[in-house]
C-alpha cells in the first residue's frame, strides 16, 4: 500500500479533460468523467504515445499514435492498435497487448490525491 499524493484541486480538472500529472517518476493520466476520477499511466503500452493528447469517449481513451484504446476504469485494453487483418496480427505479434498501470484516486474536500 502506497501513500496518497496531492495532484491538484477538483476545479483544475473539468469533466472530460485528459490531464497529464507527474508525481515523482510517475507520469499519470488523470481524467474526470462526471463525478468519478481515474488515474492510469499516461504512456500507451503499445508505442509510448502520450495519452493526454488522445481522445476520450466515456471511460475509453484512444491513443493518438496508433489508435490503441483503453478503459480507464481498470486500465484494460479495449483495442490494440487501429486496423484489422494482417496489420493487427503483426502488431500483436511484435508487441502483445498490455493494460495500463492504474492508480487509486481519492478526493478529500476539493483536493485530488493519487496513491503512489
DSSP assignments along 54-91, one per residue: SEEETTEEE-TTT--EEETTT--EEESSS--HHHHHHH
Question: What is the per-residue pLDDT for 67?
Answer: 93
- The pLDDT of residue 90 is 66
Convert the pLDDT of each residue in 97-114 to its tens digit.
899 999 999 999 999 999
For residues 116 and 103, give the distance between their C-alpha atoms in angstroms, rounded to a whole number. 7
List Cα–Cα distances, 43 to 79, 82, 85, 96, in angstroms: 15, 17, 25, 16
Q: Report the alpha-carbon distance of residue 100 to residue 110 in Å, rounded.
A: 26
What is the structure's pLDDT at 84?
A: 65
3-class DSSP state for residue 51?
A: helix
Domains and CATH numbers, the chain: 4-115 (2.102.10.10)
Specify the pLDDT at position 61: 98
Mapped onto helix, strand or coil, the DSSP state of residue 11 is: helix
pTM, two decimal places? 0.89
**Spans of the chain below 50 pLDDT:** none
Amino acid at each position: 500500500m502506497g501513500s496518497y499524493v496531492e495532484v491538484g484541486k477538483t476545479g483544475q480538472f473539468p469533466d472530460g479533460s485528459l490531464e497529464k500529472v507527474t508525481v515523482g517518476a510517475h507520469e499519470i493520466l488523470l481524467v474526470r468523467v462526471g463525478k468519478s476520477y481515474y488515474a492510469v499511466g499516461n504512456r500507451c503500452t503499445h508505442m509510448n504515445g502520450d495519452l493526454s493528447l488522445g481522445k476520450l469517449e466515456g471511460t475509453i481513451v484512444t491513443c493518438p499514435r496508433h489508435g490503441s484504446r483503453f478503459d480507464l476504469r481498470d486500465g484494460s485494453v479495449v483495442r490494440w492498435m487501429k486496423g484489422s487483418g494482417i496489420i493487427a496480427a503483426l502488431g500483436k505479434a511484435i508487441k502483445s497487448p498490455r493494460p495500463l498501470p492504474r492508480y487509486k484516486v481519492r478526493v478529500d474536500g476539493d483536493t485530488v490525491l493519487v496513491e503512489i
